[in-house]
Amino acid sequence: MEIKEKFNLDQVTTFRIGGPADFYCVVQTLEELKEALKFARGKDLAVFILAGGSNLLFADAGFRGMVINIAIKGIEILHDDDNRVEIRVGSGEVWDDIAALCALKELWGIENLSGIPGRSGAIPIQNVGAYGQEASRVVSSVEVLDLEELEIQIFNNDQCGFEYRQSNFNTIWKNKYAILSVTFTLARQPKPNLSYIDLSNYFAGANNPSPGLPEIRQAVIAIRSKKFPDLNEFGCAGSCFKNLILTPQNYLRLEQTLGRNFSPEIVSRLQELKLRFAEEKRIKIPAAFLVDICGLKGQSIGAARLWKNQALVIVNTGSAKARDVAGLFKLVRQEVFAKTGMRLVSEPEWVGFSEQELAKYFEIPNDKS
């Protein structure tokens, strides 16, 4: 294990943005992770655990402390019968490699999560979801290392506190544990989930009402490629804003606000979305819809730009700084709030920013909540 000083973090994030970390290392085993943590403790350093570099925005000033990039590999079958397979995956395994392997082996449950960048250890942290599937439905347990006690613990699904795009790992347990491995329970019997309209339309157009698992994976990748930028050409952290999960009362408030500020056609589109994405006691409204109707798609600050094909995505077109992304994030949130009354929530984690910087970029004028 090599510990580097003043390591530029733009080298290890999908955004290609970030200043220097005081110290940085890659760990490939549990022993190396413990060694790195003891080094940080000996120098009284703050520690940030890096899990692949996606869904993350580092500050231009970098990180005052030690960034530990976990690259622990390993794939192990724990249980296998005619109905289900339990597979334990090292947190450093590339996620889409796991999705591809499971598609090849005809193991159902994560095919709609194909094409998502990052490593497997990040999947339960944010309860990653896409196209009708999410991590909480297939994660059976998560193995972690307590960063203070340096002891291993295993949490089952219920203990992880999964909610929409969150878990205990990015809320009440934030910065408390490093994920070592994740165990997934996948189905051997076909369980296609074509509930997402883009997927159902894809196969309707292909005249294939009963696609197999490899076909679904291929379709998801094709759909994502049309919506999301090529990471070989642009820096990107994925969606920068979470979709809205509204109570009926908050939905009604949104509909009334749109009725005052937009055309009847826009209100009709909102009502269609309500029916399409209705969940138990809650209503999901795509944040991209609000960004679109506010006329923000294509907006840019510096080299940061809202992606032309997906309004939730901010891309680094080549030389963007964190301040550019943060400024564009602020602009979008303020415009959406002014015209719809809704507060968009950041999906990426912001790291290395001061409290004053965060207050500046998350400020919404006239927000009395």
Same domain, 141 and 80: yes
Nearest CA-CA partner of 164 in 186, 142, 183, 136: 136
Q: Is residue 82 part of a domain?
A: yes
CATH number at residue 216: 3.30.465.10
Q: Is residue 192 part of a domain?
A: yes
- Computed over every residue of the chain, the mean pLDDT equals 95
Q: Is residue 251 part of a domain?
A: yes
* C-alpha to C-alpha distance for 227 and 110, rounded to whole angstroms: 20
Q: Hunting for tokens 């925005």 — which residue is that?
A: 57
Q: Which of 227, 253, 277 is the last residue of a domain?
A: 227
**pTM (predicted TM-score):** 0.93
Q: What are the Cα distances from residue 94, in Å, to 54, 70, 73?
A: 11, 11, 9
CATH number at residue 252: 3.90.78.10
What pLDDT digit, counting tens, does each position of 130-153 carry?
A: 999 999 999 999 999 999 999 999
DSSP class of 346: B
**Residue numbers annotated as active site:** 165, 239, 347
- How do beta strands 84-90 and 177-187 pair? antiparallel
Q: Is residue 187 part of a domain?
A: yes
Radius of gyration of the chain (CA): 21
Q: Is residue 368 part of a domain?
A: no
Q: Which of 227, 254, 286 is the last residue of a domain?
A: 227
Q: Domain count of the chain?
A: 3
What pLDDT digit, counting tens, does each position of 96-121 carry?
A: 999 999 999 999 999 999 999 999 99
Residue 369 binned pLDDT confidence (cut-offs 50, 70, 90): low
